[in-house]
A and B are shown apart, each in its own frame.
Chain A
Amino acid sequence: MANVSIDNVSKVYPNGFQALQDLTLSVEDGEFMVLVGPSGCGKTTALRMVAGLEEITAGTIEIGGSVVNDMDPKDRDIAMVFQNYALYPSMTVRDNIGFALKLRHMPREQIASRVNEALALLGLTDWADRKPAQLSGGQRQRVAMGRAIVREPSVFLMDEPLSNLDAKLRVQMRAEVARIQRRLGVATLYVTHDQVEAMTMGDRVAILSAGVLQQCDEPQVVYDHPRNLFVAGFMGSPPMNLFEGTIAEGALTAVVGSQQLALPASVLAETPALLEYVGKPVVLGIRPEDLGAVRPGDHNDSQAGCVLEGRTDLVEALGSEQLIHFTTDARAVEVHGAREDDAEGLSQGTINRGGAGTARIDARTVVRAGDAVRFHIDPSRLRFFDPETAEAIGFATDVRSRGERSSGERPARAGESAADAAGSISSPSDPDGSAELSAGGTSQDRSQDAG
């Protein structure tokens, strides 16, 4: 049992590509830490550096209090589950699981009892003498887990272990892996690109983009208080609705398109930094489930308050709830790179048009495509972002967590703005090109979207 601490670790490949930049992260003993981010964000590199499979360019990694930078993988007391399982094809399930113990010259009876225990825990007893080729994907995945747990290591490292399974099995194994980890109480670093896995499995979630840690906190905190636009756009499916707006009149009104959203004083009390943005552009974020849809003229409708008007484009009934894709006259903000690898495919079919947004409402509310809808917003659920820095406005110090970088300034990569590091933003609906919002390299995407 041990904790892992990653301190200011960077990785630059020989070809000059910087995969990781000053990553500081700690996994406490028994904690399940999920590293999540789009492909190529450096999460796997970070994991492989902890495993000792990748050299560390700068910084230190400690496991159980001792620096392991130059230690062989086998001496780090870690066990790793690979994405493609990496089972030894010529060995039976039993031999695969017991291989590491055999190499450590453990007495034969002890190996047998530990392997049997692991087989029983994973429900693999009947398959113990099969070869990996004779197993199904889920069974192979469990053998890979068995190979890790039988070692009783200080740290589990898991590299997208569920991504090769079909959707149903993935949901099942998600719970199983989490259950086993809780039971064994071993510090775990788990890499995934699937934000659903990140939300459901992790004690804490660390979100990476372009080699830079964006936010690290408990899943619900990350979900409710995304630190920047990238996190807001990445976590959650469908993602947070993001609209361009301005703050007006002593921060008591937010202007979104032609609409005025009344902000009660409580919002200002919670985010006093909003006062600095009076008259300035901001990005307003609201989760789909925080939009309550009401048809104009209904008994519970009211003109006043924090209300966003829109028109329904498409209604997706999911049985337990429905997703309403709507359009407002505000300009929507897209976070590039956030949705590129949507494992669940939930965001497919989203219509990216001017002011497009999504609301998640209960299944009983009758809303049809083409309806005019009023969305009642709980103002305390609104999130505000600075469009220049992409940072959350007045990101509350109390939600900053232990694993978070302490310095406020995120170092930007050479030739990129800070906004770029957090996922570049642009307005797809913008006909004249909102130069102030778009960052380098995205102008082409934008013109395609606009066209």
Chain B
Amino acid sequence: MSVAKPVATRHAPRRRRLTRRRAVGGFWSAITWLLAIILFFPVFWMVITAFKKEGDAYTDPPRIVFHPTLTEFSQVFSGGAGHPFLHSVFVSLVSVVLVLALALPAAYALAIRPVKRWRDSLFFFLSTKMLPYVAAIVPIYIIAEHTGLLDNDWALVILYTGFNLPLAVWMIRSFFLEVPRELLEAARIDGGGLYVELSKVIMPIVAPGLAATALICVIFTWNEFFFAYFLTATRGPTVPIFLVSFLQSEGEYWARLSAAATAACLPVILAGWIAQKQLVRGLSLGALK
């Protein structure tokens, strides 16, 4: 007993500290959960509403229990949603391919064979992001009008490529920097040219990073509203434009609007889901060695 007692008193403060730490941790967990739920709730409500009939959608109090149905989804697509979806898919894919095709060589030059004043080049890329979009809309509109690109998917392809390029160059450059220099030197000694260096040495290492970059570009193009609204509103709307016009033309059909919005989210969520593993590796590339 005489031995155990001092041991017990020595441990008491530690235990108290432990309890306190646990309480603090619990508090922050609760805050985090609360914020997450608040942020997620509108999305949750949108998805729920999409599966309701129009009559169940707008009730007071809101109805939680209902018969889920796909009626509104089929209504949306028979009501002309297919066309904007095709536009969005085309614009997103083409612009992402263009972005990668242009950003890869730029990033290679900046990361692996730095040119003189590469810092300035890098800053120039970034500086193009500093101009507020609104400031450019009038000149862009006029240029599009004069070149016959108004209401044309290619106008958006060009614009989105331009917007995404700086970000893509920055991201891909940072992934390229992760490639150990000795690996490239080993390839040079082994007899590989630029093509081998890129395809056999660099690509396997940066592929997750490229996937992450591509996905971020797709998300931006898929959701972009401002330029799409001004440049392609009438004949070639993209999905975000379609959603808004839906509200205007059809009146307050909440269930149908929710179904349309849910459908609009799906491709991006799917792409993210599929690329999840790559994405995590890509976004954390360089975080651990």
Known: A86-B180, A86-B182. A104 touches B189 (CB 8 A): no
Residues of B within 8 A of A79 (CB): 189
Instruction: Write the chain A residue with the least CB distance to B179.
Output: A89
Residue-by-residue, is A52-75 near B (CB-CB < 8 Å gives 1, otherwise 0)? 110000000000000000001110
Q: Is the CB of B189 within 8 A of A73?
A: yes
CA distance A91 to B186 in the complex (A): 14
Does B196 sit at the interface, judged by CB under 8 A?
Answer: yes
Does B235 sit at the interface, judged by CB under 8 A?
Answer: no
Q: Is the CB of A53 within 8 A of B185?
A: yes
Q: Is the CB of A80 within 8 A of B191?
A: no
Does A162 sit at the interface, judged by CB under 8 A?
Answer: no
Does A186 sit at the interface, judged by CB under 8 A?
Answer: no
Does B201 sit at the interface, judged by CB under 8 A?
Answer: yes
CA distance A89 to B208 in the complex (A): 14
Residue-by-residue, is A124-148 near B (CB-CB < 8 Å gives 1, otherwise 0)? 0000000000000000000000010
Residues of B within 8 A of A86 (CB): 180, 182-183, 185-186
CA distance A78 to B188 in the complex (A): 11
Q: Is the CB of B190 within 8 A of A74?
A: yes
Does A253 sit at the interface, judged by CB under 8 A?
Answer: no
The one of B180, B183, B188 that contacts A74, using a Cβ cutoff of 8 Å: B188
Q: Is the CB of A89 within 8 A of B185?
A: no
Q: Is the CB of A84 within 8 A of B191?
A: no
Instruction: Write the chain A residue with the least CB distance to B182.
Output: A86
Q: Is the CB of B182 within 8 A of A84?
A: yes
CA distance A357 to B200 in the complex (A): 55
Q: How far is the CB of B132 from chain A (nearest CB, A)?
A: 40
The A-contacting residues of B in range 145-195, CB under 8 angstroms, are: 180, 182-183, 185-192
Instruction: Write the chain A residue with the least CB distance to B190.
Output: A100
Q: How far is the CB of A123 from chain B (nearest CB, A)?
A: 22
Q: Is the CB of A88 within 8 A of B182?
A: no
Interface size, B (range): 10 to 19
CA distance A82 to B188 in the complex (A): 13
Does A90 sit at the interface, judged by CB under 8 A?
Answer: yes
Residues of B within 8 A of A88 (CB): 183, 186-187, 200-201, 204
Does A51 sit at the interface, judged by CB under 8 A?
Answer: yes
Q: Is the CB of B185 within 8 A of A103?
A: no
Instruction: Write the chain A residue with the least CB distance to B196.
Output: A103
Residue-by-residue, is A147-191 near B (CB-CB < 8 Å gives 1, otherwise 0)? 100000000000000000000000000000000000000000000
Residues of B within 8 A of A84 (CB): 180, 182
Residue-by-residue, is A99-125 near B (CB-CB < 8 Å gives 1, otherwise 0)? 110011000000000000000000000
Residues of B within 8 A of A82 (CB): 182, 185-186
The A-contacting residues of B in range 207-253, CB under 8 angstroms, are: none
Q: Is the CB of B204 within 8 A of A73?
A: no
The one of B182, B189, B196, B205 that contacts A90, using a Cβ cutoff of 8 Å: B205
Known: A80-B186, A82-B182. A90 touches B204 (CB 8 A): yes
Q: Is the CB of A89 within 8 A of B204?
A: yes
Q: Is the CB of A100 within 8 A of B205?
A: no
Instruction: Write the chain B residue with the least CB distance to A72.
Output: B188
Residues of B within 8 A of A100 (CB): 189-191
Residues of B within 8 A of A80 (CB): 185-186, 189
Known: A86-B183, A90-B205. A53 touches B190 (CB 8 A): no
Residues of B within 8 A of A74 (CB): 188-192
Interface size, A (range): 20 to 34
CA distance A86 to B180 in the complex (A): 8
CA distance A103 to B187 in the complex (A): 10
Residues of B within 8 A of A73 (CB): 185, 188-189
Residue-by-residue, is A36-55 near B (CB-CB < 8 Å gives 1, otherwise 0)? 00000000000000011100
CA distance A72 to B193 in the complex (A): 11
The A-contacting residues of B in range 58-76, CB under 8 angstroms, are: none
CA distance A163 to B265 in the complex (A): 53
Residues of B within 8 A of A52 (CB): 188-189
Q: Is the CB of A104 within 8 A of B205?
A: no
CA distance A157 to B289 in the complex (A): 27
Q: Is the CB of A78 within 8 A of B200?
A: no
Q: How far is the CB of B48 from chain A (nearest CB, A)?
A: 44
Q: Is the CB of A103 within 8 A of B192?
A: yes
Residues of B within 8 A of A103 (CB): 190-192, 196
Instruction: Write the chain A residue with the least CB distance to B200.
Output: A88
Instruction: Write the chain B residue with the least CB distance to A148.
Output: B189
Residues of A within 8 A of B191 (CB): 74, 100, 103-104
Q: Is the CB of A89 within 8 A of B186?
A: no
CA distance A79 to B180 in the complex (A): 18
Residues of B within 8 A of A104 (CB): 191
Residues of B within 8 A of A99 (CB): 190, 200
Q: How far is the CB of B128 from chain A (nearest CB, A)?
A: 30
CA distance A340 to B204 in the complex (A): 39
Residues of A within 8 A of B190 (CB): 74, 99-100, 103, 147
Q: How far is the CB of A199 from chain B (nearest CB, A)?
A: 27
CA distance A83 to B186 in the complex (A): 11
Instruction: Write the chain A residue with the least CB distance to B207.
Output: A90
Q: Is the CB of A51 within 8 A of B183?
A: no
Instruction: Write the chain A residue with the least CB distance to B204.
Output: A90
CA distance A52 to B191 in the complex (A): 12
Residues of B within 8 A of A72 (CB): 188
Q: How far is the CB of B199 from chain A (nearest CB, A)?
A: 11
CA distance A74 to B188 in the complex (A): 6
CA distance A53 to B181 in the complex (A): 11
Q: Is the CB of A89 within 8 A of B182?
A: no
CA distance A61 to B187 in the complex (A): 22
CA distance A90 to B182 in the complex (A): 15
Q: How far is the CB of A117 from chain B (nearest CB, A)?
A: 18
Q: How far is the CB of B141 from chain A (nearest CB, A)?
A: 47
Instruction: Write the chain A residue with the least CB distance to B205.
Output: A89
CA distance A299 to B192 in the complex (A): 72
8 residue pairs, one from A and one from B, having the closest CB atoms: A90-B204, A86-B182, A100-B190, A74-B191, A86-B186, A103-B191, A82-B182, A73-B189
Known: A88-B186, A89-B204. 5 other contacts (CB 8 A): A51-B185, A78-B189, A82-B185, A84-B182, A86-B183
What are 26 of the A-B contact pairs (CB < 8 Å)?
A: A52-B189, A53-B185, A53-B188, A73-B188, A74-B191, A74-B192, A78-B189, A79-B189, A80-B186, A80-B189, A82-B185, A82-B186, A86-B180, A86-B182, A86-B183, A88-B186, A88-B201, A88-B204, A89-B205, A99-B200, A100-B189, A100-B190, A103-B190, A103-B196, A104-B191, A147-B190
